[in-house]
Structure 1
Amino acid sequence: MAQPFKAPTGIYQLRRKVPPALRAALGHEYKRSLKTRDPSEAKARFAEEWARSETAFALARAQAGGAEVLTPRDVQQLAARWFRAEIEKVEATGNFAYWLFEGPTVTVDLGDRYDEHTPLMSIREWLEHDPDVDLSGEIAAAIKRTLDQHGIPAPAEGAPTRALLVAAFREHLLQLSDLASRRLEGDWLQKPHVLAHEPLKVEAKRNASKTSSKKLIALFEEYARDKLLTDGNSRGVRKTIDSYRATVEQFIEICGDLPVPAIARETIRDYRVQLAQLPASGSGIRKLTTSQMIAKANAENLPRISEATIRNKLRAISAVLSYGLRLGVVLENPVIAGGIAKAAAKAATNRSAVAKRQKDYTGDELRQIFSSPIYSDTGWSSPRADFGKAWYWLPLLMYYTGARREELAQLAVRDVIKGEDDAWHLSILAAGDDDNGRGVKTVGSRRLIPLHPDLVKLGFAAYVDTLPKAGQLFPFLKICPRGYYGTNFGKRWASYLRETVGLSSSASPAHGFRHTFKTLCRAAGIPEDVHDAITGHAGGASVARGYGVMPLAKMAEQIRRLPSAPLLRVLSSSEAR
Structure 2
Amino acid sequence: MALIAQPFRHPDSGIYYLRRRVPDDLRHIIGKTEIRRSLNTRIHHQAKAAFAIAYADSERLFNDARQGICIEHHKPEGVAKALPTPLLPAQTESHVMLSAALAHYVQSISMSGRSEYVSRRHAVDYSRAANRFITDMGDMPIAAIQPSHIHAFAANLIQPVNADVKPLATSSTRLLLARLSSVMAFSVDSGLIEANPVTASRIHKRLGSGKPKRRLDDNRGYTWSELVTLFSHAEFQRLRTAKGRPGNAVFWIPLIAAYTGGRREELAQLYVEDIHQHERNSWFIRVIDDRPDKSVKTDSSRREIPVHPDLLALGLLTLVQGREPGTRVFPQLVKVSDGFAGIVSKSWRPITQLCGVYQPGRNPLHAFRHTFKTLAREHGIPKEVSDWITGHASGHIGDSYGINPLSRMASEIQKLPSLAKAAGLLPCE
User: The TM-score by the shorter chain falls in which range?
Assistant: 0.7 to 0.9
The yes-or-no answer on 1:433 pairing with 2:315 is no
Please give the residue correspondences for 1:206-285 in structure 2 after superposition, counting only pairs within 5 Å. 210-278=92-160
The yes-or-no answer on 1:539 pairing with 2:364 is no
**TM-score under structure 2 normalisation?**
0.75
What is the one-letter code of the residue matched to 1:545? D
Instruction: Give the equivalent residue in structure 2 for 1:358.
Output: 219
Once the two structures are TM-superposed, the CA of residue 509 in structure 1 deviates from its matched residue by 1.1
Identity over the aligned pairs, expressed in percent? 30
What is the one-letter code of the residue matched to 1:334? P
Instruction: Give the equivalent residue in structure 1 for 2:269.
Output: 410
- Counterpart CA distance in 1 for 2:183 and 2:259 is 39
| Unaligned stretches of 5+ residues in structure 1 | 1-5, 14-38, 53-148, 152-202, 279-289, 298-303, 573-577
- Counterpart CA distance in 2 for 1:42 and 1:463 is 44
Residues 211, 330 of structure 1: 8 Å contact kept: no
Once the two structures are TM-superposed, the CA of residue 408 in structure 1 deviates from its matched residue by 0.8
Task: Return closer, same or farther for 1:233/1:468 CA change in 2, 3 Å cut-off.
Answer: closer
- Counterpart CA distance in 2 for 1:10 and 1:230 is 30
Q: What secondary structure sits across from 2:254 in the alignment?
A: helix
- Counterpart CA distance in 2 for 1:571 and 1:374 is 17
Q: Deviations over 1:471-511 (max 9, x none)?
A: 3212332x13338322212211112322x323322421111
What is the one-letter code of the residue matched to 2:249? A
Residues 385, 409 of structure 2: 8 Å contact kept: yes
Task: Return closer, same or farther for 1:42/1:360 CA change in 2, 3 Å cut-off.
Answer: closer
What is the one-letter code of the residue matched to 2:414? R
What is the one-letter code of the residue matched to 1:11? I
- Counterpart CA distance in 2 for 1:399 and 1:332 is 46
1:492 is aligned, of 347, 362, 384, to: 347
Instruction: Give the equivalent residue in structure 1 for 2:228.
Output: 367
Instruction: Give the equivalent residue in structure 2 for 1:397.
Output: 256
Instruction: Give the equivalent residue in structure 1 for 2:315.
Output: 459
Instruction: Give the equivalent residue in structure 2 for 1:557.
Output: 411
What is the one-letter code of the residue matched to 1:416? I
1:444 is aligned, of 280, 286, 300, to: 300
Instruction: Give the equivalent residue in structure 2 for 1:523.
Output: 378
- Counterpart CA distance in 1 for 2:426 and 2:249 is 15
1:293 is aligned, of 136, 139, 164, to: 164
Instruction: Give the equivalent residue in structure 2 for 1:341.
Output: 204
2:328 is aligned, of 472, 476, 492, to: 472
Residues 275, 285 of structure 2: 8 Å contact kept: yes
Moved more, 400-409 or 480-489: 480-489
- Counterpart CA distance in 1 for 2:254 and 2:135 is 42
Q: Deviations over 1:383-413 (max 9, x none)?
A: xx65343232211100111111111111111
2:63 is aligned, of 35, 44, 49, to: 44
Residues 235, 351 of structure 2: 8 Å contact kept: no
2:174 is aligned, of 311, 314, 339, to: 311
**TM-score under structure 1 normalisation?**
0.57
| Unaligned stretches of 5+ residues in structure 2 | 1-24, 32-57, 71-82
Q: Deviations over 1:77-125 (max 9, x none)?
A: xxxxxxxxxxxxxxxxxxxxxxxxxxxxxxxxxxxxxxxxxxxxxxxxx
Question: Over aligned residue pairs, what C-alpha RMSD do you find?
Answer: 3.4
What is the one-letter code of the residue matched to 2:266? E
What is the one-letter code of the residue matched to 2:162? S
Once the two structures are TM-superposed, the CA of residue 529 in structure 1 deviates from its matched residue by 2.0
Once the two structures are TM-superposed, the CA of residue 225 in structure 1 deviates from its matched residue by 2.2
- Counterpart CA distance in 2 for 1:450 and 1:243 is 34
What is the one-letter code of the residue matched to 2:350? S
Q: What secondary structure sits across from 1:427 in the alignment?
A: strand
- Counterpart CA distance in 1 for 2:156 and 2:355 is 40
What is the one-letter code of the residue matched to 2:253? L
Residues 458, 571 of structure 1: 8 Å contact kept: yes
- Counterpart CA distance in 2 for 1:571 and 1:331 is 64
Task: Return closer, same or farther for 1:356/1:261 CA change in 2, 3 Å cut-off.
Answer: farther
Which of the two has higher C-alpha Rg? 1
The yes-or-no answer on 1:321 pairing with 2:184 is yes
Q: Deviations over 1:433-476 (max 9, x none)?
A: 214x2222223222111101111122222443254444321233
Residues 229, 423 of structure 2: 8 Å contact kept: no
- Counterpart CA distance in 1 for 2:282 and 2:200 is 55
Residues 358, 364 of structure 2: 8 Å contact kept: no
Residues 415, 427 of structure 1: 8 Å contact kept: yes
What is the one-letter code of the residue matched to 2:304? L
Q: Deviations over 1:41-95 (max 9, x none)?
A: 7762156667x9xxxxxxxxxxxxxxxxxxxxxxxxxxxxxxxxxxxxxxxxxxx
Number of equivalent positions: 364
What is the one-letter code of the residue matched to 1:247? A
- Counterpart CA distance in 1 for 2:312 and 2:187 is 53
Instruction: Give the equivalent residue in structure 2 for 1:424.
Output: 283
Once the two structures are TM-superposed, the CA of residue 379 in structure 1 deviates from its matched residue by 9.3
Q: What secondary structure sits across from 2:376 in the alignment?
A: helix
Q: Deviations over 1:143-191 (max 9, x none)?
A: xxxxxx899xxxxxxxxxxxxxxxxxxxxxxxxxxxxxxxxxxxxxxxx
Q: What secondary structure sits across from 1:417 in the alignment?
A: strand
- Counterpart CA distance in 1 for 2:227 and 2:379 is 17
Once the two structures are TM-superposed, the CA of residue 219 in structure 1 deviates from its matched residue by 1.1
Residues 258, 371 of structure 2: 8 Å contact kept: yes
Instruction: Give the equivalent residue in structure 1 for 2:29.
Output: 11
Residues 207, 327 of structure 1: 8 Å contact kept: no
What is the one-letter code of the residue matched to 1:227? I
- Counterpart CA distance in 2 for 1:379 and 1:455 is 13
What is the one-letter code of the residue matched to 1:476? Q
Instruction: Give the equivalent residue in structure 1 for 2:11.
Output: none
- Counterpart CA distance in 1 for 2:150 and 2:287 is 41
Once the two structures are TM-superposed, the CA of residue 254 in structure 1 deviates from its matched residue by 0.9
- Counterpart CA distance in 1 for 2:241 and 2:389 is 32
Residues 349, 358 of structure 2: 8 Å contact kept: no
